[in-house]
Amino acid sequence: MQILNWKIQPELKKEIDSHYRTDFAISLKDSNPVEIIKKITFDNVAPNITIIDVKKFFKYINKNFLNKKIKGVGLEVGAGPGFFSAVLADNKKVEKIYAVEVCENIVTELMPVIADFVLGKKKSEKVVGVVGEFNNLELKDNSVDFVFDFFSLHHSNDLQKTLSEIHRVLKPGGVIFCFDKARADYLKEDDLKNMLDKEYSEEAKKNMGVDVKERLTRRMNGEQEFRLKDWKKYFMLTNFSNFEHYNIARSDSNNFFVRILKNIFSKLPPKIQIFFTSKFIDPDKETYNDLSSENRVYTKLVNNFPKEISLIIGTK
Ligand SMILES: C[S@@+](CC[C@H](N)C(=O)[O-])C[C@H]1O[C@@H](n2cnc3c(N)ncnc32)[C@H](O)[C@@H]1O
């Protein structure tokens, strides 16, 4: 697998070198690929997820929300070990995908193993590993057809800068689609601060390979909280011509009747679901996960994912 090195700001490089993921990557380098994917991509909280689930989900998103724009040259920002890049590269219409990740050990030790596992040795060349940062993309203007993010852009310390870099490299008409967190607009600044200052549980620390005695908050892990209105603002400020958001929700529930109802709903096309969900879901009413409920769509395809997903789409 080809691995490129792009410039990383010295301050960020220093931060990453002492980040828990740097040692965690080394500790996983002799594990089997399925373990690596479960532990690092899914933080050990999605025990039942399979590659087939993920492939089916991308197919569903491509057809129903992206007008089949997953093709040509792609870019994944904050790619981790590049599992999603490899799944995206499995699509015949994708020529290659740059998988950009700031943590060097993840790229050099884990990404080649995952690309070979998902794609086989020959096709794995379609994934180009990049040790780099998403605020400095060493790609030409208008050179990329699609960009993907899986819970990474909420790690950006300057979302406007990150999105303007992404906008620069996208071709006109190209899309960025994010599986990320768009918090509900009812949340106040103080609510967001409290979310970031919350300490990870012992269980979560264990899953991340962090000493349970070490203090670790989401803020210390480089996370930010963006509400739907914040995402919208940054996409508009960076000149995207179109912004869309969908709340991709699970079709399962502990309540038998709710489960039946959600299952029936999930069989309907997204547009029809949204017609009905927008009538009975109030976006100002609290949700259990504090994600925006605007444009809710139920699908069984996220039942095995670690969390429900805010699908954010920007078109250049
Ligand atoms: C929550 S993880 C997302 C997991 C990843 N998408 C995957 O599929 O495994 C966020 C990832 O973004 C990376 N990251 C954080 N800041 C970054 C930056 N400025 N540029 C590139 N990657 C970054 C982190 O190192 C981490 O691997």
Tens-digit pLDDT profile for residues 100-154: 999 999 999 999 999 999 999 999 999 999 999 999 999 999 999 999 999 999 9
Q: Is ligand 1 within 6 A of the CB of residue 76?
A: no
Average pLDDT for residues 69-89, to the nearest whole number?
Answer: 98
Residues 274-282, mean pLDDT to the nearest whole number: 93
Q: What is the 3-state secondary structure (H, E, C) of 6-20?
A: CCCCHHHHHHHHCCH
Q: State the average pLDDT over residues 174-183.
A: 98
CA of 47 to the centre of ligand 1 (A): 21
Arithmetic mean of pLDDT, 211-235: 93
Q: In this predicted model, what pLDDT tens digit does every residue of 180-222 receive, in sequence order?
A: 999 999 999 999 999 999 998 898 888 888 888 989 899 998 8
- pLDDT interval class at 291 (50, 70, 90): very high
Please tell me if the CB atom of residue 78 comes closer than 6 angstroms to any atom of ligand 1: yes
Does residue 33 have its Cβ closer than 6 Å to ligand 1? Answer: no
How far, in Å, is the centroid of ligand 1 from the Cα of 23? 15
State which ligand 1 atom lies nearest to the alpha carbon of 157: 19
- The residue that leads in pLDDT, 18 or 27, is 27
Tell me if 227 CB under 6 Å of ligand 1.
no
Instruction: Give the pLDDT of residue 271.
Output: 96
Q: Which atom number of ligand 1 is nearest to the Cα of residue 21?
A: 25
Distance between Cα 298 and ligand 1 center (Å):
27
Residue 274 pLDDT > 90, yes or no?
yes
Ligand 1 center from residue 154 Cα (angstroms): 9
pLDDT of the residue at 208: 81
With a 6 A CB cut-off, is 155 part of the ligand 1 pocket?
Answer: yes
CA-based torsion, 94, 98, 103, 108: positive or negative: positive
Classify residue 125 by its DSSP letter: G
pLDDT over 90 (residue 296): yes
d(CA 231, CA 68): 23
Q: Is the pLDDT of residue 18 over 90?
A: no
d(CA 162, CA 192): 21
Any ligand 1 atom below 6 A from CB of 99: no
pTM equals: 0.95
- Residue 88 is predicted with a pLDDT of 98
State the pLDDT at residue 206.
84
Decide: 112 in ligand 1 pocket, CB within 6 A. no
What pairs with residue 94 in β-bridges? 72
73-95: average pLDDT: 98
Residue 77: pLDDT above 90?
A: yes
CA of 77 to the centre of ligand 1 (A): 7
Please identify, by atom number, the ligand 1 atom nearest to the C-alpha of residue 100. 21
SS3 (DSSP) at 230: helix
pLDDT digits (tens, 9 = 90+) for 244-266: 999 999 999 999 999 999 999 99
7 pLDDT more than 90: yes
CB 228 within 8 A of CB 182: yes
pLDDT of residue 113: 97
How far apart are the CA of 110 and the centre of ligand 1, in A? 14
The CATH class that applies to domain 3-187+225-315 reads alpha beta
Dihedral angle at the C-alpha atoms of 91, 94, 95, 100, nearest 10 degrees? -100
pLDDT of residue 8: 97
* Closest Cα to atom 19 of ligand 1: 133
The predicted structure's pLDDT at residue 305:
92
The share of the chain scoring above pLDDT 70, in percent, equals 100
Ligand 1 pocket test, candidate residues 9, 88, 102, 154, most atoms within 8 A of CB: 102
260 CA to middle of ligand 1, Å?
A: 36
Indicate if the pLDDT at residue 47 is higher than 90: no
Mutate to test the pocket of ligand 1, among 97, 135, 152 (most ligand atoms within 8 A of CB): 152
Average confidence score pLDDT of the chain: 95
pLDDT at 19 over 90: no
- Map out the domains of the chain as residue ranges: 3-187+225-315
Cβ of residue 246 lying under 6 Å from some atom of ligand 1? no
Nearest-5° Cα angle at 132, 11 to 164: 90
Q: What is the pLDDT of residue 281?
A: 92
Cα 205 to Cα 242: distance, rounded to the nearest angstrom? 38
Would you give the distance in Å from CA 21 to the centre of its chain?
17
Residue 209 has a pLDDT of: 80
**Residue 100 Cβ contacting ligand 1 at under 6 Å:** yes
